[in-house]
Amino acid sequence: APALAQGMPEVRWRCASSFPKSLDTIYGAGDHVAKRVAALTEGRFQIRMFAAGELVPGLAVADAVQAGTVECAHTASYYFVGKDPTFAFDGAMPFGFNMRQMNAWLQAGGGRDLLRDFFAGYNLVSLPAGNTGAQMGGWFRKEVRTPDDLKGLKFRIGGFAGNVLQKLGVVPQQIAGGDIYPSLEKGTIDAAEWVGPYDDEKLGLNRVAPFYYYPGWWEGSLNLSFYVSKPQWDALPPLYKEVLESACRDSTVETMAKYDVQNPQALRRMVAAGSQLRAFPREVLQACYRAAFELYDETAARNPNFKRVYEPWKAFRETQYQWFRVAENTFDNFSYFMHAQEQQQRR
Amino acid sequence: MDVMAPLMFGGLIVFLILGFPVAFSLSAVGLFFGFLSIELGFFGPQYLGNLPLRVFGILANDLLLAIPFFTLMGAILERCGLAEDLLEGTGQLFGKVPGGLAYAVILVGAVLGAITGTVAASVIAMGMISLPIMMRYGYDMRIATGVIAASGTITQVIPPSLVLIVLGDQLGKSVGDMYAGAIGPSILQVLLFIAFIAAVSIFAPHKVPPLPDEALTMRGWPLIWRVMKGMVPSVVLIFLVLGTIFLGLATPTEAGAMGAVGAGVLAWMNGRFTWDLIWQATQNTARITAMVIFILIGATVFSLVFQGVDGAIWIEHLLAKLPGGQVGFLIFSQVFIFFLAFFLDFFEIAFIIIPLLAPVAAKLGIDLVWFGVLVCVNMQTSFMHPPFGFALFYLRGIAPPTVKSSDIYWGAVPWVGLQLILVAIVIFWPESVTYWIDKGTGVDPSTVKIEVPLPDLPEDDAPPVFR
Amino acid sequence: MGPLLAFSRGVDKLNAAVGYLANWAVFLSCAISAGNAFIRYGLSYSSNAWLEVQWYLFGATVMLGASYTLFKNEHVRVDILYASVSVRTRLWIDVLGFIFFLLPATILLAWMTWPFFLDSFIRNEGSPNAGGLLRWPVKILMPIGFFLLTLQGLSELIKRVALLRGLQPDAEVVVEYHRPEQ
Ligand code: NA
Ligand code: NA
């Protein structure tokens, strides 16, 4: 049979995922890449997936790719903000982009070019591969009505968002993973956040904390990343590079679609089981918004890597926000408004 | 090429049996097969470079903090004699009942199991507290070590439990459901253990002797006073540990630290506190912690190489040969896990085997919480299998030299049997698990209307502004 | 054998001192954990730094305590066979074990964990959690710990070889398989 990959070399990689297999959408985003790559090269380019902990711990995958001990990894870049906060741009920035804008920035808006040198400093190439869309704000034992309610709130929240909230008096407590459930149940912590309804439901936090807040403003969308060790990437035949790029882009569409189908169903199930939805009050969001940009300015002032990406990122964001307010948001808002009104009248 | 994984299992047995420390024997098997695999082209030398990341992952696993915390609690309790008072008091109370001390150990084990989530912590604390007393009162050594190791491993079925957390994670089920599902089997397990001791006290009473008459020194009020004095501090401590979790003061891990501090305070209240005592307990704890965690470090070397030689695929092929049908699948998968548990510890089973079994189970319509709890009960045996069960290693580590290893190994056998009986009960009586799971509010999700505030619409159709 | 035994004595002293640090680490870890819970509950104040320092100290307990534990011969063994053979055979098992089991692993791990620490140190890597700690102080524990363990392995090897050659080393050597005292 005339095959695309005929005469092409056999390539076998190991991919360390940051996620457990049980999170089928988010782990599945990496798995999808592996399957597409194998299918498109008729099995000549094979990537074997390993769930978090099988090869290396989930939060160590960047180190593994950097050291070349695995060829590639699937992860969320903001896990590595401890190394450098600049990683956050590749994953999610509080009050940053929604999924469409993130894709625009990374795929066509110069985002990847901006980040390329930064990632090269870690000996890796980052390809966007999957997105969760806008996330939820997490599970709270008590209501948050004013910014004052954030003071002393013990919240299990990682990364940059923890830094933002800390400015407003929140006590970020990154307690052990297995302790989250009992601690939230008994009130040792007041709140914990994870992803969105479909993944949160599996954690079962809805059983122990009644209020389900939205939006997770720290993750207007979370871009997942497929890291490739740079020497491996450079040695890849051009066709395989194309294949891998396509598979990753494909995975972004696929993952978002799965989440958009699963999330509303999971949310319904949890509301049926007694969860109470709460929106973060505008005043709270405003305080968080201001704190976030304060933090960005402070970070940019002392971190040149961050500053180099932040300024063009911010400019791109402005253009995007302007445009989305014109057609997209007007369409969304009006349609949702009318639909909601119809539903109310029908009752 | 498919022979590497089984060869690794074989090598493990050979290396361990030589008697060099377990931690370094495990890593040696791993490295031996690692270098062999590099020669055979399974992976390049850089693959072993994942080891630093894995070792760091163990040090950074804050759930493991429970091990030093509960060990320290046990060491302080043991050294200041409070634990002895507790068991001695209980012993005096049950004095005339054969097996009285063993019942006390099972119950204390269950209570400790409700406090701690790791077998290492529980077995070590239990062993330190109760082994010397059982020896003094002439218990059969095999019964004594068996009941301690088994009562220590119950902690993984009784919530909170590291095993249930990991399994829930792997099965995509909530920890809450896993905990709820485990309640029934935990109760059954305690009852089975008690029944076994009762049987021993009937058929072989000399193995679980009642306290000798001269040990029953007190009667009436002095006895009650003595019992109270012995029991109250430990009961206070248990409530302190559990209470701090229930009050929302401490996470389950921190509750271990609370227990250690509480043990110190109790020693002080009893007038037995000295800094020397605390320091000795601390030294002991540091060495036990290093010893236990180095076993995990050795095991991580082994399992990295096992992954590298496609051990997971080998296991997958084995599983493909399982017969169909719900009960057939359950029985064979549990037998399979039982045998694997001779060689692998629960982390490996949870990470390698469960993801392979879960989809099959789901396809057969098996409730995954039920399945997970079943696996958890079964994997208790992985800690108890002689000669490689980690609980036996831990017990060996703290037992005085007069206790023979063969006693520890033979002592474990009947309890492994009891654990398997529970596996069978759970297979044929799924309600023992599912009865406790939260059935929800009964509201049909498809009828749920989600009401959130309407989006903001501009007041009027203000014309756009261009600047 | 003289200089070797002197080296062995020196290593034993060094690791006894390091083991002392490990004891303090476990004590502090426990005290901080309980203290953090109390303060968080009572004053709603805490920080990820207080959570992270707990496992940093746990890491110190493990990595700094392992070599002294080896000195005390308290790393647990499967002693079905070991318990039933003569002291001389045990010494041989240990000699071969140190050479072929322990030393290759500890040398390899010391060598491999060093660059892992170095990268973190050069980049001044911090915690991904708000208010967390710098990472290199805990990462350096690994090369140090495996290096100390290598030294202790050599020391134990030397002492056992001396015993096999009929010498009575003046360095303390624990040949009896002792469990941690109770
Ligand atoms: Na999130
Ligand atoms: Na437990």
Note the pLDDT of residue A313: 97
Inform me whether the pLDDT recorded for A53 exceeds 50. Answer: yes
The reply to whether residue B22 touches residue C76, judged by beta carbons under 8 angstroms, is yes
Tokens of B233: 């501090």
How far does CA A135 lie from the centroid of its chain? 8
- The count of domains in chain B is 1
Q: How far apart are CA B414 and CA A90, in angstroms?
A: 56
Least confident of A6-20, B67-81, B182-196: B67-81
Q: Looking at the predicted structure, is the pLDDT value of residue B90 above 70?
A: no
Cα–Cα distance measured from residue B58 to residue B289, given in angstroms and rounded to the nearest whole number: 12
Best mutation site among B58, B166, B169, B467 for testing chain A: the one with the most A CBs within 10 Å?
Answer: B169
B212 in a domain, yes or no? yes
Per-residue model confidence (pLDDT) at position B402: 84
User: What pLDDT shows up at residue A8?
Assistant: 87
Are A139 and A183 a contacting pair, CB within 8 Å? Answer: no
> Is residue B5, in this structure, part of any structural domain at all?
no
The answer to whether A69 contacts chain B (CB < 8 Å) is yes
pLDDT-above-90 percentage for chain B: 22
Q: What is the mean pLDDT of the segment spanning A303-328?
A: 95
- Rounded to 10 deg, the angle between the B22-40 and C103-122 helix axes is 80
Residues with CB under 5 A from ligand 2 (ion): B 113, 117, 155, 158, 161
In three state form, how does the secondary structure of chain C look? Answer: CHHHHHHHHHHHHHHHHHHHHHHHHHHHHHHHHHHHHHHHHHHCCCCHHHHHHHHHHHHHHHHHHHHHHHHCCCCCECCCCHHHCCHHHHHHHHHHHHHHHHHHHHHHHHHHHHHHHHHHHHCCCCCCCCCCCCCHHHHCHHHHHHHHHHHHHHHHHHHHHHHHCCCCCCCCCCCCCCCCCC
Q: Which residue has the higher pLDDT, A32 or A345?
A: A32
Residue bearing tokens 């969001």: A285
Q: Average pLDDT of chain B?
A: 82
**pTM to 2 decimal places:** 0.87
Confidence of residue B266 (pLDDT cuts 50, 70, 90): confident
Structure tokens at B3: 């022979």
| A277: β partners | A212
- The yes-or-no verdict on residue B313 having pLDDT over 60 is yes
DSSP single-letter state for residue B49: G
C-alpha distance from C72 to closest chain A C-alpha (Å): 32
Mean pLDDT for the stretch of residues B75-93: 70
Q: Which residue has the higher pLDDT, A162 or B389?
A: A162
Average pLDDT on C84-101 reads 92
What is the reported pLDDT for C39? 92
Task: Give me the pLDDT at residue C133, please.
Answer: 94
Domain coordinates of chain C in residue numbers? 2-174
Q: What is the number of other CB atoms lying within 10 angstroms of the CB of residue B461?
A: 6
Among the listed residues A295, A301, A336, A253, the one whose alpha carbon sits nearest the alpha carbon of residue A95:
A295
Average pLDDT, chain C: 90
Residue A257 contacts by C-beta under 8 Å, 6 or more apart in sequence? Answer: none
Confirm if B267 and B276 have CB atoms less than 8 A apart.
no
Give the model's pLDDT for residue A1: 44
Query: Which phi and psi angles does A76 have, rounded to 5°?
Result: -115, 125
Q: B225 vs B86, B133, B278, B382, C154, CA distance in Å? A: 12, 20, 27, 42, 56
User: Are A171 and C44 in contact (CB < 8 Å)?
Assistant: yes
Give chain B positions within 8 Å (CB) of A279.
Answer: 452-453
pLDDT (average), residues B270-283: 89
Residues of C within 8 A of A159 (CB-CB) are 128-130
Q: What is the dihedral of CA B94, B100, B106, B112, to 10 degrees?
A: 40
ipTM for this model: 0.93
Collapse the DSSP code of A229 into the 3-class scheme (helix H, G, I; strand E, B; otherwise coil) and give the result. Answer: strand
> For position A339, what pLDDT does the model report?
86
Nearest CB to C77 within list B19, B56, B285? B19
pLDDT at A106 over 50: yes
DSSP letter (8 states) at residue A10: P
The residue-averaged pLDDT of B214-226 equals: 70
In this prediction, residue B271 carries a pLDDT of 83
**Do B291 and C61 form a contact (C-beta atoms < 8 A)?**
no
Looking at the complex, does the CB of residue A340 fall below 8 Å from at least one CB of chain B? yes
pLDDT tens-digit series, residues B3-57: 888 888 888 888 888 889 989 998 999 999 999 999 998 899 999 999 999 999 9
List the subunits that have 3+ CB pairs under 8 angstroms with A.
B, C
Q: Pull the structure tokens for residue A261.
A: 């189908």
Contacts of residue C102 in chain B, CB cutoff 8 Å? 20-21, 24, 28
Identify the pLDDT of residue C22. 97
CA atoms within 13 A on the CB side of A334: 11
Task: Report the C-alpha gap between B233 and B264 in whole angstroms.
Answer: 11
The CA distance from C182 to B281, in Å, is: 8
Position B216 scores a pLDDT of 64
**Count of positions (residues) in chain C:** 182
| Mean predicted confidence (pLDDT) in B161-180 | 77
In one letter, which amino acid is A316? F
Residues in A 14-53 with any Cβ partner in B closer than 8 A: 14, 20-24, 50-51, 53
Burial of residue A177 (CB within 10 Å: 0-12, 13-18, 19+) is middle
pLDDT at C102: 97
Maximum mean pLDDT: which of A51-55, A293-297, B266-270, B370-374: A293-297
Residue A286 has pLDDT above 50, yes or no: yes
Tell me, what's the pLDDT at C179?
39
Residues of C with Cβ-Cβ distance to A158 under 8 angstroms: 128-130
A222–chain C nearest CA distance, Å: 16
- A325-340 average pLDDT score: 89
Q: Shortest CA distance to B26 belongs to which of B298, B306, B397, B340? A: B298
B71-85, B373-387, C21-35 — which is least confidently predicted? B71-85
CB A240 within 8 Å of CB A11: yes
Nearest CA to CA, how far is A194 from chain B (Å)?
Answer: 13
Interstrand relation of A124-131 and A72-76 (parallel, antiparallel or unpaired): unpaired
Q: Tell me if B438 is assigned to some domain.
A: yes
Which of A262-271, B259-268, C38-47, C171-180 has the weakest average pLDDT? C171-180
| Interchain CB contact of C42 with A (< 8 Å) | no
The pLDDT of residue B218: 64
Ligand 1 center–CA A103 separation, angstroms:
19
- State the pLDDT at residue C178: 44
The residue ranking higher by pLDDT, C92 or B160, is C92
Q: Is the pLDDT of residue B389 over 90?
A: no
pLDDT band at A129 (very low <50, low <70, confident <90, very high): very high
Do strands A191-192 and A138-140 pair parallel, antiparallel, or not at all (unpaired)? antiparallel
C-beta of residue B117 within 8 angstroms of C-beta of residue B259: no
- Position B9 in a domain: no
- Tokens linked to B228: 């109270």
Q: How confident is the model at residue A281 (pLDDT cuts 50, 70, 90)?
A: very high
In a domain, B375, yes or no: yes
Cβ neighbourhood burial of B88 (10 Å; 0-12, 13-18, 19+): buried
Tell me how crowded residue A112 is: count the other CB atoms within 10 A of its CB.
Answer: 17
- Between residues 207 and 266 of chain A, which touch chain B (CB distance below 8 Å)? 207-208, 214, 265
Q: What is the mean pLDDT of residues A7-35?
A: 92
Asked if pLDDT for residue B314 goes beyond 50, the answer is yes
Cβ atoms of B244 and B250 within 8 Å: the answer is yes
Looking at beta carbons, which residues of chain C come within 8 Å of B398?
179-180, 182
Q: What is the mean pLDDT of residues B337-354?
A: 73
Nearest to A15 by CA among A57, A87, A65: A65
Amino acid sitting at position B352: I
pLDDT value of residue B124: 79
Give SS3 for B372: helix
Is the distance from CB of A114 to CB of A305 less than 8 angstroms? no
Give residue B252's pLDDT band: very low, low, confident or very high (50, 70, 90).
confident
User: For residue A40, is pLDDT > 50?
Assistant: yes
Q: How many other β-carbons are positioned within 10 Å of the β-carbon of residue B40? A: 12
Nearest Cα to Cα of residue B125 among B63, B162, B70? B70
Q: Is the pLDDT of residue C25 over 70?
A: yes
At residue B156 the predicted structure's pLDDT band, cuts being 50, 70 and 90, is: confident
Q: Decide if B289 touches C, using CB distance below 8 A.
A: yes
Residue A13 φ then ψ, to 5°: -120, 155
Domain coverage including residue B389: 64-300+311-447
Q: What is the pLDDT of residue A78?
A: 92
Q: Give the mean model confidence (pLDDT) for residues B263-275.
A: 85
Q: Are A225 and A77 in contact (CB under 8 A)?
A: yes
Q: What is the mean pLDDT of residues B419-433?
A: 90
Least confident of A29-43, A135-149, B307-321: B307-321
User: For A185-201, how does the pLDDT look when each residue is reduced to its tens digit (9 = 90+)?
Assistant: 888 899 999 999 999 98
Confidence of residue B171 (pLDDT cuts 50, 70, 90): confident
Beta strand pairing call for A72-76 and A11-17: parallel
Mean of pLDDT values over A218-243: 96
* Mean pLDDT, range B186-209, rounded to an integer: 91
Length of chain A measured in residues: 347
Give the confidence band of C35 by pLDDT, cuts at 50, 70, 90.
Answer: very high
Contact A202 B174 (CB under 8 A): yes
Q: What per-residue confidence (pLDDT) applies to A125?
A: 97
Long-range pairs, C113-121, Cβ under 8 A, ≥24: C113/B52, C113/B55, C113/B56, C113/C139, C113/C142, C113/C143, C113/C146, C114/C143, C115/A67, C116/A63, C116/A67, C116/B52, C116/B53, C116/B56, C116/C142, C117/C142, C117/C143, C119/A63, C119/A66
Residue A5 pLDDT level (bands cut at 50, 70, 90) = low
Residue A347 has pLDDT above 70, yes or no: no
Select the more confidently predicted residue: B225 or B46: B46
Residue A88 Cα to ligand 2 midpoint, Å, equals 38
Residue C182 has pLDDT above 50, yes or no: no
In whole angstroms, give the CA distance from residue B176 to residue B180: 6
Select the more confidently predicted residue: B322 or A161. A161
Does residue A2 carry a pLDDT above 50? Answer: no
What is the rounded average pLDDT of the residues A108-137? 96
Confidence of residue A46 (pLDDT cuts 50, 70, 90): very high
Side chain identity at residue C1, one-letter code: M
pLDDT of C169 above 80: no
Weakest-pLDDT range from A167-181, A249-263, B359-373, B450-464: B450-464
Residue B7 lies in a domain: no
Nearest to A305 by CA among A24, A114, A22: A114
H helical segments located in B218-251: 220-246
Position A3 pLDDT exceeds 90: no
Q: Give the pLDDT of residue B199.
A: 94
